[in-house]
Amino acid sequence: MGAGGFDAVRRDESAHRLGAVLAAEPLDRILLLGDLNSTVDDRGLGPVLALMAAPPRDFAFSWPARAPLARIDQILTRAMTVTDIHALPRTGSDHLPIAAHIRL
| Sign of the C-alpha dihedral computed for residues 104, 36, 89 and 70 taken in this order | negative
Model pLDDT for residues 24-42, shown as the tens digit of each residue: 999 999 999 999 989 999 9
Per-residue pLDDT at 29: 97
Distance CA 62, CA 46 (A): 21
Distance CA 49, CA 76 (A): 8
Per-residue pLDDT at 1: 42
Predicted TM-score (pTM) of the model is 0.87
Model pLDDT for residues 8-22, shown as the tens digit of each residue: 888 899 999 999 999
Where residue 5 falls among pLDDT bands split at 50, 70, 90? low
For the chain, list the domains and their CATH numbers: 9-103 (3.60.10.10)
| Sign of the C-alpha dihedral computed for residues 91, 95, 101 and 104 taken in this order | negative
